Structure 1
Amino acid sequence: MSAMLKLSVAICTYNGERFLREQLDSIARQTRLPDELILCDDGSSDRTLQIIDNFASSAPFEVKSSRNVSNIGSTKNFERAIGLCDGDIIALSDQDDVWHRDKLEVIERAFLDAPLTGAVFTNGAVVGDDLSPLGYTLWDTFRFKKKQQSCFKKGRALEVLLNHDVVTGATMAFRSALRDIVVPIPVEWVHDAWIALLTSIYSKIDFIDKNLIDYRQHSNQQIGSVKKNFTDHKNVAQSITDYYAQISKYEMLLDHIRCLNQVPNDYAIGKLHDKIEHMEVRNSICTSPKIIKTVEATCELLNRRYHNYSNGYFSFCKDIFWGD
């Protein structure tokens, strides 16, 4: 059966010589090959460009590569790569993973079967430097469990995404028709979180319950994915202190939405304002006397905004006890 969609793969590279060739080879082994591969390099000083050129000379699909004049960072580099894609579907890729052979085939089928779906993401097996399994998945690390999955299926993905990130860019693909909605991407945001939120507001974002990549966990990667225990969640809650930065990020999102020609639903705007208000209250709690912070935090707990927009009881305890 001939493909009904044109598939673009967008990869951003930066000093990726160690693992890049493995990733490129895994894309070349796909049961459904991409129609084009877009590579944007952010000023690598190693052999990355040579690896790209060698691969392009024998790739079974069109390869377009470019190099930034100066380092612009991963978010803006992905924005640039997305802008260069000509496909109906844009699949994002990191430089250090390995794709399972049926990744693009499964993703294409998901879009063909659901014309109203704007983006999809998958699960992935977390592996070490040598691709040995570490015994957990991406969704294990992001707490993307049955409850969160049910929200997505019911069209309430925004509620999950305003609580915590569950979408890994390396597993994400979206329709190019959404490009004018998701760009530009502010440097303060990670590209996948930004794209996922806007897709959940203006379209439908769905998931594929399959491990379709080996997500490599190594010391040089920018973000990584580590499974968290009780102590880890406590440490994360304690580490979130720059509420101004969080508030600013979501105000940027609202400003971006106001500049778009498409009007979002009132429910989405209300949820974004509620998220900002919650972070403003948490910021106020930081400088309040003990009795006042206890009252304010308890009110946030009772109205469930700690659970809806923060890390639940961990964040509540941080504001009352651990912040002292």
Structure 2
Amino acid sequence: MTISIAIATFNGEKYIEALLASLAQQTRLPDEVVVSDDNSTDSTVEKIEHFATAVPFKVTILRSQVRQGVIVNFYKAFQACESDYIAYCDQDDVWDAHKLERCLHALRSNDAALVIHKSVVVDSDLVPLGRILPEVHGTHTIAFPAAPHQIHGFGHQMVFKKTVFAVMAQLYEHSTATQETLCQNFDELIPTVSGMLGPIVFLDEPLVLFRRHAQATSPAGKNMSRPTLQERASAKRKDIDQYLRRITTLLVAVAESKASGRAPLAQVDVQYTTYMNDLVKSLRRRSSIHAGIGLTKAFVAVSALLLRGAYRGKSAGGFGFKNLLADSLAALRVY
């Protein structure tokens, strides 16, 4: 079992050395580190080159001559990885020394497609800000097949099978879908595709210091405020409709890509597509509830979803109790 660390860099000289030092201190060293640099104008690449001379594992540096953006930059890093597993890595975080060891154990023990862990949110000087993300409790396994709403995490918390990237690439290359229509970012697309291929493990362990600062490329974790119940409720229908479009687009892309006859999408079986088609039906029913179809029809819809088990726990494939509450409030037109 081999593992690559994929890093996308751009003008990261201020924090890159702290990250690289934490990678070199892993109790289970990586088999390779792949860095894709997006035409940095500072000393980022030089610092990585110096790091490469001092570590016992392979370091590959891909240098772009033009700015391509963070999505293309990470895609190139994933594409160049040669190992069985890939660890997604931001340029400004600091890893716990046991991160790779813990994640690989979870992947191997559960034959999982993806493992996600927690992170401690810190400021630019690595001072904790009093929050650990995601706010999910208890180590657990999400069984195959898994839908995106069951999975919570940021890209830097993910370690996944290389097959996951192979499917992502096939979806782009052999369907009419684009990255923008499939998912907004790899934080969404990696778990979405992982749910097609096998179990997903969530580790209730903070294994990264997640640095938030003004220059951070990702917006994740920057907004530390918690939305009110009213704010959550008012956005619910929009969220449901966006999710419905995303799942529908995904199913079309899977069908188109499978029609190309290329592996590895051949692994995406009938059980997954059946599950996702049922999810689409449930989302359409939930959308109608929030559209104001009337009290009687709305409660009939909520009751039907309850009878189908649609509100069971998210780890079991359902929408969860909070969404049952939101849908019930929508039926009553509380907001």
Q: Shorter-normalised TM-score: what interval?
A: 0.7 to 0.9
The partner residue of 1:173 within 134, 151, 159 is: 159
- What's the counterpart of residue 211 of structure 2? 216
**Could you tell me which amino acid in structure 2 is paired with residue 246 of structure 1?**
Y
The partner residue of 2:22 within 12, 26, 34 is: 26
**Separation in 2 of the partners of 1:192 and 1:238?**
24
**Could you tell me which amino acid in structure 1 is paired with residue 168 of structure 2?**
V
- What's the counterpart of residue 187 of structure 1? 179
The Cα shift of 1:238 comes to 3.0
**5+ long unaligned stretches in structure 1:** none
When structure 1 is superposed on structure 2, of 10-19 and 78-87 the one drifting more is 10-19
Matches within 5 A, 1:36-47: 36-47=32-43
The partner residue of 1:74 within 53, 70, 78 is: 70
**Separation in 2 of the partners of 1:74 and 1:314?**
35
Matches within 5 A, 1:1-324: 5-114=1-110, 116-140=111-135, 144-146=136-138, 150=140, 152=141, 155=143, 158=146, 161-163=147-149, 165-183=151-169, 184=171, 186-188=178-180, 189=183, 190-221=185-216, 222-225=218-221, 229=226, 231=228, 234-239=230-235, 241=238, 245-258=242-255, 259-260=257-258, 261-262=265-266, 264-281=268-285, 292=293, 294-295=295-296, 297-302=298-303, 303-304=305-306, 308-309=318-319, 312=323, 313-314=325-326, 317=329, 320=333, 322=335
What does the per-residue CA deviation read over 1:295-319, in whole Å, with 9 as the maximum and x for residues that have no partner?
Answer: 5544443325578449623466578
**Separation in 2 of the partners of 1:113 and 1:164?**
21
**Could you tell me which amino acid in structure 2 is paired with residue 61 of structure 1?**
F
CA change 1:300–1:35 in 2 (3 A) is same
**Could you tell me which amino acid in structure 1 is paired with residue 199 of structure 2?**
K
CA change 1:192–1:230 in 2 (3 A) is closer
**Number of equivalences:** 304
The Cα shift of 1:194 comes to 1.8
Q: Secondary structure at the match of 1:301?
A: helix
**Separation in 2 of the partners of 1:129 and 1:86?**
32
Identity of aligned residues (%): 26
Q: Secondary structure at the match of 1:248?
A: helix
CA change 1:136–1:164 in 2 (3 A) is same
**Could you tell me which amino acid in structure 2 is paired with residue 212 of structure 1?**
L
What does the per-residue CA deviation read over 1:173-208, in whole Å, with 9 as the maximum and x for residues that have no partner?
Answer: 122244322325642222132221222222122233
**Separation in 2 of the partners of 1:164 and 1:218?**
29
**Could you tell me which amino acid in structure 2 is paired with residue 255 of structure 1?**
V
**Separation in 2 of the partners of 1:166 and 1:315?**
21
TM-score (normalizing by structure 2): 0.76
The 8 Å contact of residues 278 and 309 in structure 1, kept in 2 or not, is answered as no
**Separation in 1 of the partners of 2:92 and 2:319?**
31
**Could you tell me which amino acid in structure 2 is paired with residue 200 of structure 1?**
G
**Separation in 1 of the partners of 2:124 and 2:330?**
35
**Separation in 1 of the partners of 2:91 and 2:40?**
12
The Cα shift of 1:97 comes to 1.0
**Could you tell me which amino acid in structure 1 is paired with residue 133 of structure 2?**
L
**Could you tell me which amino acid in structure 2 is paired with residue 181 of structure 1?**
V
- Aligned CA-pair RMSD: 3.2
Q: Secondary structure at the match of 1:63?
A: strand
Q: Secondary structure at the match of 1:213?
A: strand
The Cα shift of 1:285 comes to 6.3
**Could you tell me which amino acid in structure 1 is paired with residue 302 of structure 2?**
L
